[in-house]
Amino acid sequence: MDVEIRKAEKADADEILALIQELATFEQEPDALILDKKNIEEDGFGPNPLFSCFVAVFKNKIIGISLFYPRYSTWKGATLHLEDLIVTEKMKGKGIGTKLYKAFLSHADSLGVDRVEWVLLDWNTTAIQFYEKSGAKVLSDWNIVQMDRSSIKNYILENK
Amino acid sequence: MDVEIRKAEKADADEILALIQELATFEQEPDALILDKKNIEEDGFGPNPLFSCFVAVFKNKIIGISLFYPRYSTWKGATLHLEDLIVTEKMKGKGIGTKLYKAFLSHADSLGVDRVEWVLLDWNTTAIQFYEKSGAKVLSDWNIVQMDRSSIKNYILENK
């Protein structure tokens, strides 16, 4: 199968967004996505990109992405965070995820970061097994904590 | 108690590092820290800082920090990640953590991000209660996955 992996470009924004929506639906959060095509264009392909992305292309269509950005560990220094590794449903099981994962890890290696990381839903056993087999460590003793914009505003108002 | 909260400066690197080490020890990972003073100076206070930091100062000593950096959500856009909120053991319980937390949240609000987030060890119930009370949501259905430098290199070698 002739799948090309390349860096994403601005013109890919629409297809990238479609894959992000597909993953949101898979993760049982179909309405969580508030970004539009213009956000993706500006955030990823403007003068100060907030993320980088590889795309998998088959017959001129984007069928998968690995999207990531820099993070920082106060123990290890610069790291990379893999935000999304997505392959469209119809094209799963053909090794495309592995190609995208490899492109991401090779990039991380070329930057010389000491760690890459990402998060997985604990019921996604297929993904957990894939990543553990690749040499990654799954840490189940941490909780993620999030605060949204309105809760931030509330807290500030109540603690003046 | 006369505690000042201000932005961290390069000259604070030594004291910031001491607090990071104190937290690593608290989290039962005393040897995990590979950064030194020079790393903190370069990573936080060079031309392209990898993190930002508030410090709490009491009698000319730094007794706490909140350290954070930008992240990106493919659902919500730009976010901030709170990597460390640390108050030195002797000064806990005096409201200093709350001051540092507030400084961080006010900064997030001024940037207009749609989400802030961080991670917590699941046995750290004091912290979990503090953050839940503040309006944050604790998500326990995600696992963190990490891969270190040598595992990255191994994977690339084995999948050439």
Q: Which helix (H) or strand (E) holds A107?
A: helix A96-111
Q: Which domain holds residue A109?
A: 4-158
d(CA A16, CA B5): 41
What integer best gives the mean pLDDT of chain A? 96
Q: Which of A16, A145, A148, A157 should one mutate to test binding to chain B, selecting the residue with the greatest count of B CBs within 10 A? A: A145
pLDDT at B117: 98
pLDDT at B95: 95
Over range A94-122, report the average pLDDT. 97
Over range B47-72, report the average pLDDT. 97
Is the CB of residue B10 less than 8 Å from the CB of residue A61? no
Over range A40-68, report the average pLDDT. 97
pLDDT at A27: 85
- How many Cα atoms are found within 13 Å in the side-chain-facing hemisphere of A101? 21
Per-residue pLDDT tens over the stretch A72-81: 999 999 999 9
Using 50, 70 and 90 to split pLDDT, how confident is the model at B1? Answer: confident
Per-residue pLDDT tens over the stretch A117-133: 999 999 999 999 999 99
Neighbours of B95 (CB within 10 A): 13
User: With 90 as the cut, is the pLDDT of residue A160 above it?
Assistant: no
CATH classification of the domain holding A70: 3.40.630.30
pLDDT at B27: 85
Q: For residue B76, which residues of chain A lie inside 8 Å, CB to CB?
A: 32, 34-35
The two three-digit tokens of residue A29, written as one number: 């959060």
Q: Which of A7-11, A138-142, A156-160 has the highest mean pLDDT?
A: A7-11
Specify whether B155 is catalytic.
no
End-to-end CA distance of chain A: 60
Q: How far is B90 from chain A (nearest CA, A)?
A: 22
Considering only CA atoms, which of B54, B106, B111 is closest in space to residue A160? Answer: B106
* Burial category of B41 from C-beta neighbours within 10 Å (exposed 0-12, middle 13-18, buried 19 and up): middle
**Percent above pLDDT 70 for chain A:** 100
Q: What is the pTM of this model?
A: 0.95
d(CA A117, CA A85): 12
SS3 A1: coil
Instruction: Say yes or no for a CB contact (<8 Å) between A131 and B140.
Output: no
CA distances from A158 to A138, A152, B80, B104 (A): 38, 10, 21, 15
- How many Cα atoms are found within 13 Å in the side-chain-facing hemisphere of A148? 6
Over range A35-54, report the average pLDDT. 97
Over range B9-38, report the average pLDDT. 95
Strand locations in chain B (E) = 4-7, 52-58, 61-73, 77-87, 115-121, 137-139, 142-148
Over range B92-113, report the average pLDDT. 97
Per-residue pLDDT tens over the stretch B117-139: 999 999 999 999 999 999 999 99
Which position has the token pair 């919500």?
B76
SS3 A30: coil
CA distances from B91 to A107, B57, B85 (A): 43, 11, 13
SS3 A14: helix
DSSP codes, B115-132: EEEEEEETT-HHHHHHHH
User: With 90 as the cut, is the pLDDT of residue B160 above it?
Assistant: no
User: With 90 as the cut, is the pLDDT of residue A11 above it?
Assistant: yes
pLDDT at B51: 98
User: With 90 as the cut, is the pLDDT of residue B11 above it?
Assistant: yes
User: With 90 as the cut, is the pLDDT of residue A93 above it?
Assistant: yes
Q: Closest CB to B156: pick one of A51, A105, A141.
A: A105
The two three-digit tokens of residue A128, written as one number: 């957990």
The two three-digit tokens of residue A25, written as one number: 């639906």
Amino acid identity, residue A132? E
Q: At what angle do helices A149-158 and B96-111 cross, to 10 degrees?
A: 130
Per-residue pLDDT tens over the stretch B23-33: 999 888 999 99
User: With 90 as the cut, is the pLDDT of residue A52 above it?
Assistant: yes
**Which of A1 and A80 is assigned the larger pLDDT?**
A80
**Percent above pLDDT 90 for chain A:** 96
- Tally of structural domains, chain A: 1
Using 50, 70 and 90 to split pLDDT, how confident is the model at B155? Answer: very high
d(CA A134, CA A158): 47
User: With 90 as the cut, is the pLDDT of residue A1 above it?
Assistant: no
Over range B146-160, report the average pLDDT. 95
Q: For residue B122, which residues of chain A lie inside 8 Å, CB to CB?
A: 141-143
Q: Closest CB to A116: pick one of B138, B152, B154.
A: B152
